[in-house]
Amino acid sequence: MKLAKSNNVFNQRKALCFVNMNAHYPVLKEVSHILQTECNTMISFYFYSSLFDLTKEISDAKTLLFDTIVNNDFDKNHVNLTSYKPIRQELNNNTLTSIFRKIKENKRKIKEMNGVINNIKPSFVLISDNTINYDISLFVKACKINSVDVFCVPFGLIVPNCILERLEKNSLKSSKSSIKSIVSNIFPKYILKKNGNTYLPKSLTSIAGLELIKAGSKRPWTWNAHNITGVFVDSVFSKEFCLNQGLPLDKIILTQPIEKSSYKNSLSREELTQKLSLDPNLPILLFNVPAPLLGLINLKGCDFNDPKSIIYAFLKLPTSIRGNANLIWTLHPRLKKEDYLFVESMGIKIIETSGAKLISACDVFIGNDSTLFKTALFMSKPIVNYQVFGLKTDIFKNEKGYYTAKNKHQYINLLEMLLRDISVYNNAAKEIDYKRFGNDKSYPEIHEYLNQL
């Protein structure tokens, strides 16, 4: 996608950011803050807090003087507490009634979204998730009604790739032949057949509730579900990923790494060592424990029953590891440090700084299908992916410097291998083809592209 000519009245431009879960806020915040400070863009944040508690993010946005809009009208009676819970298929005699109810509900949501868009009158809209989850389909529909350009600033590539894995683990199969037949005949793009089973990404009611108001997606089984104005792509790896999932080439906007501003503000190794009183002679292992993903704990194939057991699996390590490395847990923004001080007795130091700003200072990055894996590879940091939820989401499995552990035994062995000899780590780091994970300076930054629309 080519850059348009510069607009002389850009100082009158307005941008609206749609935030519907906590993980989306940081990357939209980074881009918006630059647009606000360097390009005189008026920024509004629409916190669509139907599924998540966004109190902390709303407070932060107000501190940054964003024109914050909070959605308090959403009827939570129609929403699961977490999107990861199994979807229950409706009984046949209730399906038609349920569909009409869902259509009415969706129209009400779109009307509310229209009200926000009409109030702000944005020049363009930024989202960070282009899947069929979290009412993104409805918001994209509202933007199309108002002829507003929608751009996606991805917060990561991992989570959307779990759709089928979640279905398999939770047995979200359309077992009723009548439902299969209806969807196959009317909405065939939602049918996915694998290993002799037929899958639906959503219930028949949800699918019909979107399609019958023309808010359905073009590619429901992919990360790029909707045809929006453009998707910012910051690396060769991401471009290949998008093309393989069917995103048209003319929708891809090549830019410099999205997390570039985070790199500038990263803590140096010396700063981190001093801040946490680390041993400067030992390597630094940075842990990104997926404790907040409570809904995934119910998946079949997962060996854990509660968040605390997952934390222990990651952080309760033998002396062979604890005595030979600095162990740091970068706390997820949805967690409170005072609730997890018990890990300090296991030799773990907790830090509330964003993981993106710590990766450059560590030697090995450890997590579970983390959205920061691509960032770590761009910085030539070896990765240990401990898949505690049993999801087979190894989109990096062919990359050098990337290691996967399916169980605690493999996990410990991988950490011990990387710590046993410094040459093992050095060789792993050198083998990483970091240029695949970040475009160079010949490409514009996101705010530069938006500045020249």
Please give the angle made by the CA atoms of 192, 222 and 383, to the nearest 5 degrees.
115
| Measured distance between the N- and C-terminal CA atoms of the chain, rounded to whole angstroms | 11
Q: Tell whether 44 is covered by a domain.
A: yes
341, exposed or middle or buried, with CB in 10 Å at 0-12, 13-18, 19+?
exposed
Read off the pLDDT of residues 187-200 as tens digits, 9 standing for 90 and up: 888 877 766 777 77
Q: Is residue 207 part of a domain?
A: yes
Are residues 77 and 131 both part of a single domain? yes
391: CATH: 3.40.50.2000
Q: Are residues 165 and 287 in the same domain?
A: no
pLDDT tops 60 at residue 386: yes
Tokens 């592209």, located at residue: 449
271 shares its domain with 233: no
CATH of the domain at 33: 3.40.50.720
- Exposed, middle or buried by CB within 10 Å (0-12, 13-18, 19+), for 65? exposed
Per-residue pLDDT, averaged over 418-444, amounts to 84
Output the pTM of the full model: 0.80
User: Which pLDDT band holds residue 277 (cuts at 50, 70, 90)?
Assistant: very high
227 in the same domain as 239? yes
Least confident residue range of 67-81, 261-275, 289-303:
67-81
Its domain, for residue 235, covers 10-257+441-451
- pLDDT above 50: residue 86: no
DSSP 92: H
pLDDT at 287: 95
What's the structural domain count of the chain? 2
Greater confidence, 434 or 423?
Answer: 434
- What is the model's pLDDT at position 425? 77
Same domain, 243 and 289: no
Residue 177 vs residues 98, 173, 184, 200, 220: alpha-carbon distances, Å: 19, 11, 10, 12, 21
Q: 327 and 279: one domain?
A: yes
Do 407 and 445 have their domain in common? no
Q: Give residue 168's pLDDT band: very low, low, confident or very high (50, 70, 90).
A: very low
DSSP for 292-341 reads T-GGGGGSTT---SSHHHHHHHHH---HHHHTTSEEEEE--TTS-GGGSG
Domain membership flag for residue 394: yes
Residue 5 is assigned to a structural domain of this protein:
no
Find how far residue 46's CA is from the centre of its chain. Answer: 18
Asked whether residue 130 falls in the same domain as residue 169, the answer is yes
Residue at 324 is within a domain:
yes
Does residue 3 belong to any structural domain of this protein? no
63-71 mean pLDDT: 79
Per the CB < 8 A criterion, the answer to whether 202 and 183 are in contact is no
Per cent of the chain over pLDDT 70 is 78
Q: Are 69 and 205 members of one domain? A: yes
230-269 residue pLDDT tens: 999 888 888 888 888 888 899 999 988 876 655 667 889 9
Q: Is the pLDDT of residue 324 over 50?
A: yes
Q: For residue 18, what is the enclosing H or E element?
A: strand 14-19
Do 102 and 211 lie in one domain? The reply is yes
Contacts of 289 (CB under 8 A, 6+ apart): 310, 311, 314, 315, 329, 332, 367, 368
In the predicted model, is pLDDT for residue 167 greater than 60? Answer: no
pLDDT interval class at 78 (50, 70, 90): very low
Give CA–CA dist 87/170, Å, rounded: 9
Looking at residue 147, what is its pLDDT? 95
Q: Of the spans 147-161, 378-392, 408-422, which averages the highest pLDDT?
A: 408-422
> In terms of C-beta distances under 8 Å and separation of at least 24 residues, what long-range contacts does 237-243 make, across chains too?
237/374, 237/436, 237/437, 238/154, 238/157, 238/374, 241/157, 241/395
Q: Is the domain of 27 the same as that of 129?
A: yes
Cα dist. 18→32, 68, 80, 122, 166 in Å?
Answer: 12, 11, 20, 12, 25
pLDDT (tens digit per residue) in 107-162: 999 998 999 999 999 999 999 888 887 789 999 999 999 999 999 987 665 444 44
pLDDT score of 96 more than 90: no
Q: Within a domain: residue 1? A: no
Residue 2 lies in a domain: no
- Res 148: pLDDT: 95
- How many C-beta atoms surround the C-beta of residue 73 within 10 A? 10
**Mean pLDDT, residues 319-342 taken together:** 87
Q: What is the mean pLDDT of the chain?
A: 79
C-alpha angle 220/225/231, rounded to 5°?
165
DSSP 173: B
Q: What is the pLDDT of residue 84?
A: 31
Q: Are residues 201 and 328 in the same domain?
A: no
Give percent of the chain above pLDDT 90: 28
Check whether 279 has a pLDDT greater than 60.
yes
